[in-house]
Amino acid sequence: MDLKELYRDVILDHNKRPRNFGVLAPPATSARGHNPLCGDQLTIYAKVENGIIKELKFEGSGCAISVASASLMTEALTGKTLGQADTLYTQIHALLTHADTPDSTSTVDLGKLAALSGVREFPARVKCASLCWHTLQAALNDPTTPVCTE
């Protein structure tokens, strides 16, 4: 395994300069996520109008993988429909957990998010990358229950 597979330039860039980092005031919906294993904590804020994610922000602290994943997620989903968000959630979940699925067989173009594929070679780190995605699901569907990876 090559560390550069995990820490690709896109990941390092989004860790150092996270996009859409900040808070959205209500009526934007939000949810908190926590990974007790490593102490990662983040809050996802989503402003949804007519089934479209108008704005998506996050704040918190975490490792490079969790920060970059959240940053990439906000970038990818801003302006998308809730249905598209659901589809992408499923695709990312498969990308992170199906170690036997090579990138090339994927029929969807994940764009920059494909940089997260290196994570699946590091099973201990999958939760870092998936935390923000689970938390977004909670923000959109069940904002009252905090998300915990354990």
Partner 1 sequence: MTPHNDRSALAKKFAQYKADFPILSQTIHGKPLVYLDNGASAQRPMAVIDAEQRYATSMHANVHRGVHTLSQRATDAYEGARERVRSFLNAKSSNEIIFTRGTTEAINLVAQSYARPRLGPNDEILITWLEHHANIVPWQMVAAATGAKLVVAPINQAGELDLAAFKSLLSTRTRLVATSHVSNALGTVLPVREIVAAAHAQGVPVLLDGAQAVPHFALDMQELDCDFYVFSGHKLYGPTGIGVLYGREALLEEMPPWQGGGDMILSVSFQGTTYNTLPYKFEAGTPNMSGAVGLAAAIDYVDRIGLADIAEFEQDLLVHATHALTAVAGVRIIGTAADKASLVSFVVDGVHPHDLGTILDQDGIAIRTGHHCAMPVMDFFGLPATARASFAFYNTKAEIDQLATAVASARALFI
Give the footprint of partner 1 on this chain (CB under 8 A).
Answer: 1, 3, 6-7, 12, 15-16, 37-41, 61-65, 122, 124-125, 128
Of 48 and 72, the one with the shorter C-beta distance to partner 1 is 72
Nearest distance, CB of residue 5 and partner 1, angstroms: 11
- Is there a contact between 79 and 88 (Cβ–Cβ < 8 Å)? no
* Between 16 and 54, CB nearer to partner 1: 16
Quote the least distance from Cβ 6 to partner 1, whole Å: 7
How far, CA to CA in Å, does 95 sit from each of 39, 53, 105, 121, 150?
24, 23, 11, 11, 20
Which residue type sits at 97?
A: T
| Closer residue to partner 1, CB minimum distance, 8 or 57 | 8
Query: Per 3-state DSSP, what percentage of the chain is helix, strand, and coil (rounded to 5)?
Result: 50, 20, 30
Describe the crossing of helices 9-16 and 64-77 by its angle, rounded to 10 degrees.
90
Closer residue to partner 1, CB minimum distance, 65 or 92: 65
**Nearest approach, Cβ of 136 to partner 1 (angstroms)?**
21
